[in-house]
Amino acid sequence: MKQPTQPTPNEHPASAADPTTGTERKVVLLTGATRGIGKSIAEDLSGDHDLILAASSEESAEKLRSTYPAAQVFVANLADVESLESALSGLALDRLDALVPCAGVTGHDPVRETTPEQWQRLFRINLFSIAELVRCLLPALHRAQGIVIAINSGAGHFSGKGFGPYAASKFALRALTDSLREEERGRIRVSSIHPGKVDSDMQREIQALRGNEYNAAQFIRPETIARAVRFALETSEESMTEEITIRPVQQ
């Protein structure tokens, strides 16, 4: 498996003062920023936060570097969970205000047809990588009294035909965030965002496999999920947005 490249040295000191407002800029590490929901989160936060963006490949990293020249971009294939510790150590992060794991993949096969490799891939990207990001970044999150904002799914609460493996990974992610919230209460905050169907490449893939015509207007705009992330991020420090569920009007 391709090893991640080491990140470039951090040229953007943590929590640098924003010259326009004089306030501290929060440092946010986001995965999945190239497309869909993660792209909207990056677009929304890039103006007033210091972004650290994890890209799945060098090609995705290049795309992110040209879109967000002020961001620190590093390559981390989340399926390669064992390589994440070394990729993150290259960031030399002193403090981290927010970890937003957004990258994810879906699955379409019924349980009876899902191979061990498919189960492994889904769980590596949707769950194990997040557990490893949390484990490695917890000291930096502690120093900032930071927040983890996990992009979960409606499938973190409900499952159904053809959704078993995907929903299993999202149910497990909810268990992870529920446990982490209690274990770290008073040190960091933990939020779980549960979108219904969002207009994105993932949703296009799902609708195509079901043989449905794609009508973007039926789905939640990714910017709406980005606003929910900002809400969780900006919740005042005595409070915690534990869970937000957002569903399309048309079911």
Ligand X SMILES: NC(=O)c1ccc[n+]([C@@H]2O[C@H](COP(=O)([O-])OP(=O)(O)OC[C@H]3O[C@@H](n4cnc5c(N)ncnc54)[C@H](OP(=O)(O)O)[C@@H]3O)[C@@H](O)[C@H]2O)c1
* Nearest approach, Cβ of residue 19 and ligand X (Å): 30
Q: Which one, of 62, 84, 82, 83, lies nearest residue 73 by Cα?
A: 62
Is position 81 an interface residue for ligand X (rule: CB under 6 A)? no
Is position 226 an interface residue for ligand X (rule: CB under 6 A)? no
What track of x and - describes contact with ligand X for positions 200 through 219 (by CB under 6 A)?
xxxx----------------
Is position 105 an interface residue for ligand X (rule: CB under 6 A)? yes
Interhelix angle 222-234/36-45, nearest 10 degrees: 50
* Nearest approach, Cβ of residue 200 and ligand X (Å): 3
What track of x and - describes contact with ligand X for positions 27 through 56 (by CB under 6 A)?
----xx-xxxxx----------------xx
Nearer to ligand X, 92 or 214 (CB): 214
C-alpha distance from residue 178 to each of 152, 171, 227 (Å) = 12, 11, 22
Distance of CA 137 to the CA centre of its chain: 14
Do 121 and 79 touch, CB atoms closer than 8 A?
yes
CA distance between the termini of the chain: 40
Is position 227 an interface residue for ligand X (rule: CB under 6 A)? no
Tell me the longest C-alpha to C-alpha distance in the chain: 57
Contact residues: ligand X, CB under 6 A = 31-32, 34-38, 55-57, 60, 77-79, 102-105, 125, 151, 153, 195, 197-198, 200-203
